[in-house]
Amino acid sequence: MILDYKNSSIYYEDIGTGPVVVLLHGFLETSAMWLDFIPQLSQNNRVISIDLLGHGKSDCIGYVHTMEDMADAVSAVLSELQIIKAKIIGHSMGGYVALALAEQRPALVESLCLMNSTFEADDNERKIVRSRANVMVKTNLENMVRISFANLFSANSKTRFKCAYESALSIALKTTVQGYIAANEGMRLRPNRFKIFNSIRKTKLLILGKKDILINVKQLKSQTKDTKIIIEELSEGHMSHIENKSDLSYLISHFVE
Residue 241 has what pLDDT? 97
pLDDT of amino acid 156: 85
pTM summary value: 0.97
* CATH number assigned to the domain comprising residue 246: 3.40.50.1820
Angle between helices 141-150 and 162-172 (to 10 degrees): 140
Percent of the chain with pLDDT over 90: 94
Q: CB atoms < 10 A from the CB of 91, how many?
A: 26
Domain range for residue 190? 2-256
Residue 179 has pLDDT above 90, yes or no: yes
At 49 the pLDDT is 98
Task: Report the alpha-carbon distance of residue 245 to residue 253 in Å, rounded.
Answer: 12
How far, in Å, CA of 119 to CA of 136, rounded? 27
pLDDT(104) > 80? yes
Structurally, how many domains does the chain consist of? 1
